[in-house]
Structure 1
Amino acid sequence: MRRLLDALYDGAAWLAALFMVALLIAVLLSILGRQFHFNIAGIDAYAGYLMAAAGFLALAHTLKRGEHIRVTLLINALRGGARKGLEVWSLAMAALLALLFAFYSCRLVWQSHAFHDISTSNDATPLWIPQLAMAVGTVIFAIAFLDELVLELRGRRVQAASGEALRNE
């Protein structure tokens, strides 16, 4: 199960990276279009879709690598059961919020599909298509938080510490 979850997080990160490369290409095409006087309809809208997809798909991988911003002032002052209790409570609340975020993201995709919502930009893209990346990203993010919660409850959670704080101090 561990390998499957790690593969899920890594796969989402690779997909996010692919969307980032596609975003770069879209921005370059937009710049070239302005310089050489040609227009690709909807390229700005597609760049926005790609940026959102990259951000949402990278959430779980970023969480699992300890790169999300985390306020540790209080938790570092605690020891033993109090610290574990606060960790469990924090992870449970984060998992709940992530599940709600995933639920409403999936619901938004469903509603956009059911109501035939389209982009107001000149590309007229059905909105459920770019929203799908958001829904998938938030579902994987919720799974990652549930994973962290279960690991904490079982005493197997490893704190992935970002080296960023060490480089800034």
Structure 2
Amino acid sequence: MTPANDARAAPPALAALLRAIDLACAAGAFLAALSAAALALILITEVVATSFFGWSQPWAVEYAIYLQCFVLFCGAGWTLRQGGHIRVAVVMQALPPAAARLLDMVGTVFALGVTGFASWALWQQLVRSVEFGSTSFYPMGTPLWIPQGLLTVGITLLALGFLARLVRLALRQQADLSAGLTGGGVE
């Protein structure tokens, strides 16, 4: 079953929601890729500046930390759909298909609960940072809502990815685009 056929098997509104989540997660992955490139550029610039000119950029450490978070979390929802998260496939392969699907659903519900709570808590923190005008303690004094906002979006995308996975599992659709491949699991 191809991903295109996948979405058509669901009711139209649900298929549109799944496509929207997939597109949002892909946008998050694009942001993660841009963040990785910016992080590499910052680190290379910092190494060259300190090694050859004895000058350290005061903003490099601060923004490198933010970019690491974006790289880690903004692409996580897309990675989930691609089947790139680590899971123990040997257990799933040993179970009958119905039991494996049920175990996958239980794990997905648990992960959705954890990421849903994390997303909710981060949205609360983001709102407080905006209300209080919080800034970082680094020399740049970055308004904290900016990096917190991107981190919050990344965790929210992962939670949405788990929601889409749960819906696909409930509809007996292909949850991972890598189904049948050995990547993403521990064999």
- Counterpart among 126, 130, 134 of residue 117 in structure 1: 134
Change (3 A) 1:39 1:82: closer
Question: What is aligned with 2:13?
Answer: none
Shift of residue 97, structure 1, vs aligned partner: 1.2
Aligned mates of 1:23, 1:163 — CA distance in 2: 30
Shift of residue 75, structure 1, vs aligned partner: 2.6
Calculate the TM-score normalised by the size of structure 1: 0.88
1:8 maps onto 2:24 in alignment: yes
1:40 maps onto 2:57 in alignment: yes
Aligned mates of 1:165, 1:74 — CA distance in 2: 14
Shift of residue 164, structure 1, vs aligned partner: 4.1
Aligned mates of 1:59, 1:79 — CA distance in 2: 28
Of structures 1 and 2, the one with the larger relative CO (CA 8 A, separation 6+) is 2
Q: Percent identity between the aligned chains?
A: 27
Shift of residue 7, structure 1, vs aligned partner: 1.9
Aligned length: 168
Calculate the TM-score normalised by the size of structure 2: 0.80
Q: Detail structure 1 runs of 4+ shifted over 6 Å in the superposition.
A: none
Cα-Cα RMSD: 2.2
Which residues of structure 1 form unaligned runs of 5+?
none
Question: What is aligned with 2:151?
Answer: 134
Question: What is aligned with 2:47?
Answer: 31
Question: What is aligned with 1:50?
Answer: 67
Question: What is aligned with 2:11?
Answer: none
Shift of residue 128, structure 1, vs aligned partner: 1.6
